[in-house]
Amino acid sequence: MDNATYEEAMNSINSDLENIQSDVNDLQTTTGTDGSYFKSSTSELDPAASAAMGGMMMVMMVIYAIVFVVLIGSMWKLFTKAGKAGWAAIVPVYNSLVQLEIIGRPWWWFLLMFVPLLNIWISIVICLDLAKAYGKSTGFGVFLILLPIIALPMLAFSKDAKYVGPVAKNVEGLMPAPEVPRAA
C-alpha cells in the first residue's frame, strides 16, 4: 500500500470516528437522566397525575368486582332454580358443564367451545337455549347475547322466569331449541 492510499484510509476512518462521536453526543443530550431515550420517565411524573391514574385504576377494579359478583350471583340463582347446586357457578369448567346440562346439551359441546369460529355459534345457541329453558323467548335470548350483564340478573331474579326443563334434549345438530309454548 502506498503512502497516499494509507493517508486517505486514515482520513476516512477519522472522519467516521468523528461522525460516531457526534452521534453519541447527540444521543446523550436527548436521553433522560435514567438513560432512557425519553427525557421524562415514569419516575418523573407529576405526583397529582400519578394519584389520578391510581384512582382511575381503583374505580375500574371496583366496577369489575361488582360486575363479577353480579354475574356469579346470577348464575348461582339460575343453577338453584334448575335444581342444581349453586356453588357450581363458581367452579370453572364445571359451571359450563352444569349449564349445558340445564339446557339439555351434551357434555362434549364444551369441547366445541375450543374450536375457532364454531365457538361463537355455540355461545349464541347456548344463550338462546338458556333463555328458553327458563320460559323466555328467542328475543330474550338475543338480549342475553347482547347485554348479558343486564339480561342474566333479569333472568335469574325475576319471578316469572321459571325453569321449564332442558329444552334442547331432543334437538339434533347445532341448531337452537324451538320456542317453548308459554303456559297461559
d(CA 172, CA 174): 7
Residue 176: the pLDDT is 80
Residue 37: the pLDDT is 57
H/E stretch holding 7 reads helix 3-30
Residue 97, CA atoms < 13 Å, CB-side half-sphere: 9
Domain range list for the chain: 3-42, 50-157
Residue 28: the pLDDT is 60
d(CA 99, CA 74): 12
d(CA 102, CA 83): 9
| pLDDT confidence band for 8 (50 / 70 / 90) | confident
Residue 74: the pLDDT is 96
Segment 63-104, tens digit of pLDDT = 999 999 999 999 999 999 999 999 999 999 999 999 999 999
Segment 123-180, tens digit of pLDDT = 999 999 999 999 999 999 999 999 999 999 999 999 999 999 888 887 777 778 777 6
The full DSSP string for 51-115 is: HHHHHHHHHHHHHHHHHHHHHHHHHHHHHHHTTS-GGGGGSTTHHHHHHHHHHT--TTHHHHTTS
Residue 30: the pLDDT is 57
Max CA pair span of the chain? 110
Segment 12-44, tens digit of pLDDT = 888 888 888 777 776 665 555 555 655 554 556
pTM above 0.75, yes or no: no
Among candidate residues 162, 164, 158, the one with its CA nearest the CA of residue 180: 164
